[in-house]
Amino acid sequence: DAFMRRKPKGVVAAITPWNFPFAIPLWLICPSVVEGNTIVLKPSRETACTANKIAEYAHKVGFPPGVINVMHGGCGDMLVRHPDIHVVLFVGSNDVGSEIKRVVAGFNNKMCACEMGGKNAIIVLDDANLDIAVNAAVISAFKTSGQRCTSASRLIVHKKVLDEFEKKFVETTKRVKIGNPLDKDVFMGPVINQVAVEKITRYNELAKKEGAKVLLDGGRLIGEQYKKGYFMSPFVYRMQNSPRSRVLHEEVFGPHVAIIPVKDIGEAIEVHNDTEYGLSCAVITEDYRKAKRIRDDCEYGLGYVNLPTIGAEVHLPFGGVKKSGTGLPSASTLIDVVTHRTAWTINHAMEIKMAQGLTVKL
């Protein structure tokens, strides 16, 4: 008999962001614990209370002390460097994730899986259903106020449909309701904090300096209904792609989106790949041959046809290429990260019989 067995690696550290404070920790905790590991969750300081709830629920359902642990504050670096941490799972910025990878590389018994953002795009080709294209673009750009790693901040549009798409997109964006996200009629809530407001505002101003044609001049919203949060309206602009542009290459993480005209599918692919990130890509087309070309030639981890760039299927791999990371696994394939796969071969005969023709008589 010969078969593969899995052994838990030991202690897993999960360092998670604020934008999905319940879901992302559970995506990392559950497979780790199921495979026999213990875990230390280090959440964002912006969403510390949610992590405490996870610990409470774990205690209530009977997890033994020490299996699911939560640590707060500035302990991330200590966890990454601790010799008893065997796996580091990270979701966050490329700056932090890159440093984690450098530190982990110095250990013999440690590995990491990092998911580190994106500069995602929807490609709207000349045969696109524009109703689908506009809806997919609005959802991708502004759902959760553009604060997803898979949010689209680039809309790459064929010149043949540019005018009509642009008109419909701007009109639809103007109708987006902004307010309390717990209100079922609200589409877009606030951004996370004042630091985010300042960052998004800087990129809005930078787009103007770089020569963008501003279509919607969004910014901080003021008024009684916006007092309890950091609300911003969408900033939309048209701009030719340029390798020198910062706004077309850097992650903004807010309601900030560029419409980039292209002359054909070849240029669309070039523009899509002209970024250091490679997380999520969507194409709007009625031609499966064009969709296949996008599938094969674009650089991404998550690909969609006639859909937004958000809303990944939970049973499929989740992660990206280039600066987007090492491909943070989804629930099923995370098992490969938090376990050792070992080979176990048993000889049931009364003499040695080996694989690969290596049996010899002595």
Residue in 35, 112, 114, 115 annotated catalytic:
115
The residues, ordered by sequence, that sit 6+ positions from 356 with a Cβ below 8 Å of its Cβ are none
Catalytic (active site) residue 115: yes
Q: What amino acid occupies position 342?
A: T
Max Cα distance, the chain (Å): 91
Tokens 């376990």 label which residue? 339
Handedness of CA 313, 316, 318, 319 (dihedral sign): negative
Q: Are 174 and 140 in contact (CB under 8 A)?
A: no
149 is catalytic: yes
Q: Which of 112, 114, 149, 298 is catalytic?
A: 149
Query: CA–CA separation, 333 vs 152, rounded Å?
Result: 25
- Count CA atoms closer than 13 A to 39's CA, side-chain side: 29
DSSP string, 269-288: HHHHHSSSEESEEEEE-S-H
- Coil vs helix vs strand at 314: coil
Instruction: Report the distance separating Cα 221 and Cα 176, nearest Å.
Output: 14
Cα separation, 21 vs 147, in Å, equals 13
In terms of residues, how long is the chain?
A: 362
Q: What is the token pair recorded at 186?
A: 């609200």
Strand partners, 158: 262
Residue holding tokens 């009977």? 62
- Residues with catalytic function: 115, 149
